[in-house]
């Protein structure tokens, strides 16, 4: 929203968020070196990715400043994430004949 | 009722200095709203692709892990994240009215995008050299190649489109046809491409890494 | 900043024929183009259903000239079993995508949504134009599959894998036919994306002064809700069909399991999942049926209110219910997969929201019935079709209660019971919505009135005919008649053949009745009585402007809105209706602020 609006934070905030994103991305790479099962590795990475995504949405895409849209996007994102989880887990049925199994 | 004095019989002249339209919902103008809606639709598309990938990965017992080095993907991630920052800097300059500064930032963003695409293509070629294609994979199930190339291909398509859009919008901004608002709308798209990458990296690359 | 968006749509009236009627940016012309596309599609789809019914009712019936359409599919004019399935697939695809989604949503929505919100046009006219032409291209690609060597695909409109994904080895049309089908649907998805972007931004950002969201008519709300669904549902179908295309042309095997032997040959594919297609498809597929029906709900409410001369019992609850239907429709998709081997917990998880979704549906129906109770409904073609819509929606909806429960669904799944259910609740109801909308808005769209007696005759014959066709389907299904059979040769099916004969006769007759409608449409378009600006004494914005509306919808003055959409029979008012643009004060506790 152009110059007519209040400026969205400052350039300093952008850099801070950028550094946070770099650190989070690095954490993902570190997780990939951990000696854990694929599913718990997935869970950890996915949580980090969600945090990264939330930071990008709120500060890079300026959702922080738009309350109405923030709620809409939040609900949509939660629905999408949950929907994805269901889609994935049904593949356990194919693998083991039992849904939700590990 | 202040409405009554600017209109007679439920009409208002198009040339009237007053507003002829109601305020937009969410106070977002139409172009920006359309970009948000496109992003929402595209999120659903990528989610569908990732579900497909996750489904077959999970459902395949001997899923291969053909990646050995994180260097390339780390550089790509760094490049793409940095391009988001330069995009933000460009928009801030544009909002302050610093035209040439904004233009330089947008062009630099496009350049980083192009570097990302080239690195990506280099990686593709490397894999193809090893024999991994969309229908073949020497390390195990061919589904790995299928999923890898279709998901990253879709993302690469978005990056390429984004680079073209950045250059086009940047030039038109310089020429005075587009405003800082248009840059911001393009920036939204660019950040979204970045956001998708944050999910593609762990799911497609890091989970398929063997150390 | 919002006057910027208003200026974005300024485009002068076109002068050349091509810009005016073919590559038009005007939402009204695009709406009519969509209507024409749906009309062509529904005629093709209906003829296909005739061919299928003739084959089912009278086994080995020779349909004169059918061999001209397909030499291999109908040697000696008698349909082969495969060709029956091919026609059935095309019937389903054409009807669901190019009729039920196109007509009530894209056609009427394009024409009337910007007018009802008080906009000059949609914010992105070029996208709007592309939306139609992309959809049209999709239709042409689908039609082209009739003329490729082994004909269109036979996989059913749901294109279940692996049948759809293994290629020509699985039957005629499963090679090129499926690829054309998938490309057609991909184009359709892109068209819907462009359309939905425009619909949503029009509703949110292009409302005239005074038009708050709650002052939008119910039809506008229905299109708005539908476009949000269209935005997200088609975006999931898109990757599904792209993966299907890759399976065909790039040698991947997303949807094909390992070691599959079809027609005595071992397929080279390995590792894919057939269930994955069902997940992706039905995640789109269930919202899709609400995409087909919700615009009808909005149109019917709009028509009924105008003809009852009083608003619905609750404007808000109706809107919230339609919104609830939209949200819930994404959570119930698994009920299409009850027999895919789901474990009981997953079945329960999908059965529960499926039963919940009947609550908003019931609320909508009760609001209609409660509002109709005691009203002096004006009987005309439009209001009759609106009543017909409610009747079909209830009749078809009740069988939904049965199907929502896994234990009963396992018995009835893939029988004619399901076919009867969705034809009544989605197909015929939506078609009645389209008919109602046509009779109601035709004067505004063309400037001429339709013939009222022919319209009412059309209604009664279609109404009786539709029940004659689809009610026996339920009986067939309970008797165990599986859908997609092309002949009935088992002992338990032979006694059902007379029922099939009856359905065939009813289908042919009801189809023939539609000629009355088409005659009425064409005759009235050119020789009908000239229509006044407000033939039904309506209150919403489409009735404030000229008939037919000028290029920028409202001439050189933009409308200003003062009231809720439905100010009928207001006490103390000068007439029995107050237009939304009328500054006349209304002293009512219910008026939205």
DSSP string, chain B: -HHHHH-BTTEEETT-SS--BPPPGGG--HHHHHHHHHHHHHHHHHHHHHHHHHHHHHT-TT----B---HHHHHHHHHHHHHHHHHHHHHHHHHHT-HHHHHHHHHHHHHHHHHHHHHHHHHHHHHHHTT-BTTB-TTS-THHHHHHHHHHHHHHHHHHHHHHHHHHHHHHHHTTSS-HHHHHHHHHHHHHHHHHHHHHIIIIIGGGB--
The answer on A86 and A37 residing in a single domain is no
* C587, C572 contact by CB (below 8 A): yes
* Per-residue pLDDT at B15 exceeds 70: no
Residue C157: asked if its preceding bond is cis (omega within 30°), the reply is no
* Model pLDDT, residue C31: 96
pLDDT at C161: 87
A45 contacts chain B (CB < 8 A):
yes
A29 and A60 housed in the same domain = yes
Q: Quick one: A53 and A7 in the same domain?
A: yes
Over the range C181-196, which residues count as b (16 or more CB within 10 Å of their CB) and which as e? bbbbbbbbbbbbbbbb
Q: What is the pLDDT of residue B13?
A: 60
Is the CB of A101 inside 8 Å of chain C's CB atoms?
A: no
Q: Are A27 and A77 found together in one domain?
A: no
Tell me: pLDDT of B2 over 50: no
Under DSSP, the state recorded for C122 is -
Q: How many CB atoms lie within 10 A of CB C416?
A: 28
Residues of A in contact with C273 (CB under 8 A): 91, 94
Minimal Cβ distance to C252: which of B9, B34, B146: B146
Average pLDDT over residues B172-200: 94
Task: Give me the residues of chain C with pLDDT under 50, please.
Answer: 1-9, 593
Three-class HEC string of chain A: CCCCCCCCCCHHHHHHHHHHHHHHHHHHHHHHHCCCCHHHHHHHHHHHHHHHHHHHHHHHCCHHHCHHHHHHHHHHHHHHHHHHHHHHHCHHHHHHCCCCCC
Domains delineated in chain C: 24-578 (1.20.210.10)
User: Same domain, yes or no, for A49 and A97?
Assistant: no
> C226: which chain B residues are within 8 Å (Cβ-Cβ)?
none
Comparing CB atoms, the residue among C213, C251, C273 nearest residue B55 is C273
Q: In B, which residues are within 8 Å of A76 by CB distance? A: 40, 43
Q: Mutate which of B5, B22, B54 to test chain C, going by most C C-beta atoms within 10 A? A: B22
- In angstroms, the CA B175 to CA B167 distance is 12
DSSP 3-state assignment of C587?
coil
pLDDT in tens, C20-50: 888 999 999 999 999 999 999 999 999 999 9
Residues A11 and A1 in one domain: yes
Q: How many domains does chain A have?
A: 2
At residue B14, does pLDDT exceed 80? no
Residue C98 DSSP one-character state? I
Tokens of C269: 């594919």
pLDDT in tens, A60-78: 998 888 888 888 889 899 9
Contacts with B191 from chain A: Cβ below 8 Å: 56, 60-61
Whether A28 and B195 lie within 8 Å, measured CB to CB: no
Report the DSSP pairing between strands C557-559 and B11-13: antiparallel
Does B1 score more than 70 pLDDT? no
Q: Are residues A54 and A83 in the same domain?
A: no
Q: Which residues of A are less than 8 Å from B34 in CB distance?
A: none
Does the structure show a pLDDT above 60 at A5? no
| Nearest chain C residue (CA) to B54 | C276
| Closest CB to A87 among C1, C279, C341 | C279
* Collapsed DSSP state (helix, strand, coil) of residue C557: strand
Exposed, middle or buried by CB within 10 Å (0-12, 13-18, 19+), for B78? middle
Do A22 and B78 count as a contact with CB atoms less than 8 A apart? yes
Could you tell me the pLDDT band of residue A80, with boundaries at 50, 70 and 90? confident
**Mutation test of the interface with chain C: which of B8, B35, B45, choosing the one with the most C Cβ atoms within 10 A?**
B45
Window 11-70 of A, Cβ < 8 Å to C: none
Q: Which residues of A5-19 are buried (b: 16+ CB within 10 A; e: fewer)?
A: eeebbeeeebeebbe
Find the range with the poorest average confidence among A12-16, B67-71, B172-176, C506-510. B67-71
Rounded mean pLDDT, B131-143? 86
Residue of C nearest to A88 (CA): C276
Shared-domain flag, residues A9 and A27: yes
Q: How far is CA C43 from CA C37, C68, C122, C222, C517, in A?
A: 10, 19, 30, 26, 12
Q: Is C4 an interface residue toward A (CB < 8 Å)?
A: no
Nearest C-alpha of chain C: how many angstroms from B211?
25
Q: Which residues of B touch C272 (CB under 8 A)?
A: 56, 143
Q: Which residues pair with C530 in a beta bridge?
A: C448
Question: On the CB side of A20, how many CA atoms lie within 13 Å of its CA?
Answer: 16
Angle C206-C209-C213 from CA coordinates, rounded to 5°: 60
**Is the ipTM above a cut-off of 0.90?**
yes
Considering the domain architecture, whether residues A41 and A83 belong to the same structural domain is answered as no
Query: Which residue segment(s) compose the domain that A90 sits in?
Result: 67-102
Cβ-Cβ contacts under 8 Å, A78 against chain B? none
Output the pLDDT for position C8. 43
B contact residues 43-102, partner A, Cβ 8 Å cutoff:
43-44, 47, 50-51, 54-56, 58-61, 70, 74, 77-78, 81-82, 84-85, 88-89, 92, 95-97
Q: How distant is the Cα of C350 from the closest Cα of chain A, in angstroms?
A: 11
Same domain, A16 and A42: yes
| C84 interfaces chain A, CB cutoff of 8 Å | no
Run of H or E including C262 = strand C261-262
Q: Which residue from B minimizes the CA distance to A70?
A: B26
Of C6, C238, C271, the CB nearest to B45: C238
| Number of other residues whose CB lies within 10 A of the CB of residue C500 | 20
**Domains of chain B with bracketed CATH:** 26-208 (1.20.120.80)
- A90–B92 C-beta distance less than 8 A: no
Q: Looking at the structure, do residues A1 and A18 belong to the same domain, yes or no?
A: yes
Most confident of B5-14, B61-70, C100-109: C100-109
Task: Report residue C217: phi and psi, to 5°.
Answer: -65, 160
What average pLDDT does the structure give for chain A? 83
Residue A101 in contact with partner chain B when CB distance is under 8 A: no
Q: Do A1 and B180 touch (CB under 8 A)?
A: no
Structure-token pair, residue C35 = 């209507």
CA C470 – CA C418 distance, rounded (Å): 11
pLDDT value of residue A3: 40
DSSP B147-207: HHHHHHHHHHHHHHHHHHHHHHHHHHHHTTSS-HHHHHHHHHHHHHHHHHHHHHIIIIIGG
Contact between C150 and C44 under an 8 Å Cβ cutoff? The reply is no
Pair (A91, A48) in one structural domain: no
Partners of B184 on chain A (C-beta within 8 Å) are: 1-2
């Amino acid at each position: 929203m152009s110059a007519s609006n209040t400026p969205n934070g400052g350039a300093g905030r952008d850099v801070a968020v950028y550094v946070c994103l770099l650190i989070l991305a690095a954490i993902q790479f570190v997780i990939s070196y951990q000696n854990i099962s694929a599913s718990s590795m997935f869970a950890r990475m996915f949580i980090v990715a969600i945090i990264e995504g939330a930071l990008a949405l709120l500060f890079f895409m300026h959702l922080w400043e738009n309350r109405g849209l923030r709620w809409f996007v939040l609900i949509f994102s939660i629905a999408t994430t949950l929907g994805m989880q269901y889609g994935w887990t049904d593949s356990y049925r194919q693998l083991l004949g039992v849904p939700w199994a590990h | 009722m202040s409405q009554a004095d600017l209109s007679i019989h439920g009409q208002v002249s198009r040339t009237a200095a007053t507003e002829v339209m109601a305020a937009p919902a969410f106070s977002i103008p139409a172009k920006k709203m359309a970009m948000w809606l496109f992003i929402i639709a595209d999120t659903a598309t990528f989610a569908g692709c990732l579900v497909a990938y996750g489904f077959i990965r999970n459902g395949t017992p001997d899923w291969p892990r053909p990646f050995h080095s994180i260097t390339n993907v780390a550089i790509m991630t760094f490049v793409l994240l940095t391009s988001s920052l330069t995009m933000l800097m460009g928009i801030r300059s544009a909002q302050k009215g610093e035209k040439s500064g904004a233009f330089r930032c947008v062009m630099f963003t496009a350049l980083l995008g192009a570097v990302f695409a080239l690195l990506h293509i280099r990686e593709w070629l490397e894999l193809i050299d090893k024999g991994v294609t969309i229908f073949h994979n020497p390390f195990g199930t061919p589904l790995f190649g299928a999923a890898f190339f279709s998901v990253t291909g879709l993302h690469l398509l978005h990056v390429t489109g984004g680079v073209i859009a950045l250059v086009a919008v940047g030039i038109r901004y310089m020429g005075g046809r587009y405003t800082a608002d248009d840059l911001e709308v393009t920036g939204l798209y660019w950040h979204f491409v970045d956001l998708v990458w944050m999910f593609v990296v762990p799911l497609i690359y890091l989970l398929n890494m063997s150390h | 900043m919002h006057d910027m968006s208003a200026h974005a749509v300024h485009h002068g009236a076109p002068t050349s024929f091509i810009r005016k009627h073919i590559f038009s940016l005007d939402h009204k012309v695009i709406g009519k183009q969509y209507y024409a596309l749906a009309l062509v599609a529904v005629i093709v789809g209906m003829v296909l259903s005739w061919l299928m019914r003739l084959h089912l009712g009278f086994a080995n019936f020779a349909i004169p000239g059918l061999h001209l359409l397909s030499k291999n599919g109908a040697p000696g004019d008698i349909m082969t079993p495969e060709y029956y399935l091919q026609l059935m697939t095309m019937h389903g695809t054409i009807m669901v995508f190019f009729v039920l989604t196109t007509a009530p949503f894209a056609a009427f929505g394009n024409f009337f949504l910007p007018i009802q919100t008080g906009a000059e046009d949609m914010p992105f006219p070029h996208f709007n134009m592309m939306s139609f032409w992309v959809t049209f291209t999709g239709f042409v690609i689908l039609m082209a599959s009739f003329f490729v060597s082994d004909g269109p695909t036979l996989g059913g409109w749901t294109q279940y894998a692996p049948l759809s994904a293994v290629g020509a080895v699985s039957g005629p049309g499963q090679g090129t036919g499926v690829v054309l089908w998938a490309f057609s649907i991909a184009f359709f998805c892109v068209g819907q994306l462009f359309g939905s972007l425009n619909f949503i931004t029009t509703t949110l950002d292009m409302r005239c002064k005074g038009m708050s969201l709650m002052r939008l008519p119910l039809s506008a709300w229905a299109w708005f809700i539908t476009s949000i669904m269209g935005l997200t549902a088609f975006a999931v179908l898109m990757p599904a069909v792209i993966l299907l295309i890759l399976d065909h042309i790039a040698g991947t095997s997303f949807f094909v399991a390992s070691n599959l032997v079809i027609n005595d040959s071992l397929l080279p594919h390995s590792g894919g999942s057939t269930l994955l297609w069902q997940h992706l498809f039905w995640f789109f597929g269930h919202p899709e049926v609400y995409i087909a029906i919700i615009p009808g709900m909005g149109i019917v409410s709009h028509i009924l209110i105008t003809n009852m001369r009083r608003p619905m019992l609750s404007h808000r609850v109706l809107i919230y219910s339609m919104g609830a239907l939209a949200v819930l429709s994404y959570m119930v998709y698994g009920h299409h997969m009850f027999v895919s081997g789901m474990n009981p917990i997953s079945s329960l998880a999908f059965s529960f929201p499926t039963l919940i979704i009947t609550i908003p549906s019931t609320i909508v129906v009760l609001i209609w019935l409660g509002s109709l109770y005691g009203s002096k409904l004006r009987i005309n073609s439009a209001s009759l079709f609106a009543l017909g819509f409610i009747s079909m929606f209830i009749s078809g909806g009740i069988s939904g209660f049965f199907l929502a429960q896994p234990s009963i669904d396992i018995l009835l799944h893939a029988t004619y019971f399901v076919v009867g259910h969705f034809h009544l609740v989605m197909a015929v109801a939506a078609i009645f919505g389209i008919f109602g909308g046509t009779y109601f808005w035709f004067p505004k769209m063309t400037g001429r009135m339709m013939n009222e007696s022919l319209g009412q005759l059309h209604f009664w014959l279609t109404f009786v005919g539709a029940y004659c066709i689809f009610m026996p389907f339920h009986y067939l299904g309970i008797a165990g008649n599986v859908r997609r059979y092309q002949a009935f040769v088992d002992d338990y099916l032979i006694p059902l053949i007379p029922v099939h004969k009856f359905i065939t006769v009813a289908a042919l007759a009801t189809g023939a009745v539609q000629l009355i409608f088409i005659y009425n449409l064409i005759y009235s378009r050119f020789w009908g009585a000239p229509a006044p600006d407000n033939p039904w004494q309506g209150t919403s914005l489409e009735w404030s402007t000229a008939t037919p509306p000028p290029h920028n919808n409202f001439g050189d003055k933009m409308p200003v809105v003062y009231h809720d959409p439905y100010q009928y029979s207001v006490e103390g008012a000068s007439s029995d209706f107050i237009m939304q643009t009328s500054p006349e004060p209304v002293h009512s506790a219910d008026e939205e602020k």
